[in-house]
A = this chain, B = another copy of it.
Amino acid sequence: MSWQDKLREVEPYVAGEQPKIVNMIKLNTNENPYGPSPKIKEVLTSLDIDRLRLYPNSDAVDLRKELANYYGLEEEQVFLGNGSDEVLALIFLTFFNGKEPILFPDITYSFYPVYCELYQMAYKLVKLDRDFKINLNDFMQPNSGIIFPNPNAPTGLLVDLDFIETILKNNPDSIVVIDEAYIDFGGTSCVSLIDKYDNLVVTQTYSKSRSLAGIRLGIALGSKEAIRHLYDVKNSFNSYPVDYVAQQICLASILDDQDTKAKCAKVIKTREMTKTRLKELGFIVPDSYANFVFVKHPDVEGQELFTALRQVGIIVRHWNTKRIDQYLRISIGTDEEMERMINFLEEYLNK
């Protein structure tokens, strides 16, 4: 017997790297190429640093109120956490404690199985079809919870609200989590279904469309009852996950929604240009509604392209994982960054 015998066995999630390479083009973690609302500058310069000696408001009431207003929900339907990952981690812990397995796609956000192992919860992978589409029937089996991103990561594919509603209707005894990290880049949010289905929990993040990955704000939206249970678990873990400065910054961001919308529109335009150009180079390009594209070339290995790009300082994401090892996930940068990447690929493929 030793203290090592009392450890929790885990295989942690590996986030996309944050390399320090001069002049690199960083297209590996789906960050927004444009900075956040300029109004945040004012928040920081006028902030009373003596206020930092006090704990933040543990429910972030002011921010929560504005978010409720933004989503057309009641305050009690809004949950805030330290980034979407924490929100998801707490959701698994709160809602997915049944005996049946948790269901999610075999190709999806790779943090989901990590949460399951952390909490020693059983899960079952639902196999996407050849085109990476979800087969609706796969979510019609006994389960302790369902989760998938919409649009899905890393494929970028979107399902519509009818699809989600069918899953909700057929799973009244499980919480169904729709992870909308990328919804602002062209999808339709299912927040409108919340008041109809008390088993729906929607998550969103300020790391992508809001350009605030550096700040960590994640959101969960749902029925008052579900959100209350989520707060109970959060309050059994950490009373103050969203700090005072983060609350002020995110408040400035939500109040400058025009800025977000304009930047999302630019990203979408660049994504569509990128899709077109990559198709012209022979790439297979599933129809992404996110701020990334997930592509493969029929003639060149994914690993080879990943390495070639990296050698010229263009960092994308590649997984050595069955079914997707030929693909690259490329975040959408500025027009100029994408041009440089596409031009490099064009030259490389011509060689």
Contacts and interface: CB of A to CB of B under 8 A. Distances in A.
Interface string A98-134: 1000000000000000110110000000000000000
A160 interface: no
Interface string A1-41: 11111111011111100100000001001011111101011
A212 to B, nearest CB: 5
Interface in A272-293: none
A33 B89 CA distance: 35
Main secondary structure of the interface of A (DSSP, over half): loop
Nearest to A55: B213
Given A8-B94, A236-B114, A237-B86, A245 B214 contact: yes
A44 interface: yes
A53 B334 CA distance: 13
A49 interface: yes
Contacts of A82: 82, 86, 238, 241, 243
A207 B55 contact: yes
A14 B59 CA distance: 12
Given A214-B243, A235-B13, A7 B54 contact: no
A246 B249 contact: no
Contacts of A15: 55, 58, 235, 239-240
Given A35-B52, A49-B36, A18 B237 contact: no
Interface in A62-94: 82-83, 85-86, 89, 93-94
Q: How many identical chains are in the complex?
A: 2
Interface residues of A, number: 88
Given A215-B245, A240-B83, A31 B53 contact: yes
A33 B47 contact: no
A187 interface: no
A11 to B, nearest CB: 8
Contacts of A233: 8, 10, 12, 118
A229 B12 CA distance: 10
B98 A5 contact: yes
Contacts of A215: 52, 243-245
Contact of A3 (B56, B174, B239): B174
A81 B4 CA distance: 22
A44 B33 CA distance: 22
Nearest to A212: B52
A239 B35 CA distance: 21
Given A233-B118, A239-B85, A53 B40 contact: no
12 contacts: A5-B173, A12-B233, A12-B234, A12-B236, A18-B58, A31-B53, A44-B49, A52-B213, A56-B214, A83-B239, A85-B240, A216-B240
Closest 6 CB pairs of A and B: A12-B235, A35-B50, A214-B244, A52-B214, A6-B98, A53-B211
Given A5-B98, A8-B233, A83-B241, 19 more contacts: A3-B199, A6-B97, A7-B95, A7-B229, A10-B236, A12-B234, A15-B55, A35-B50, A36-B49, A44-B45, A44-B47, A52-B214, A52-B215, A53-B211, A115-B236, A117-B236, A243-B243, A245-B246, A245-B249
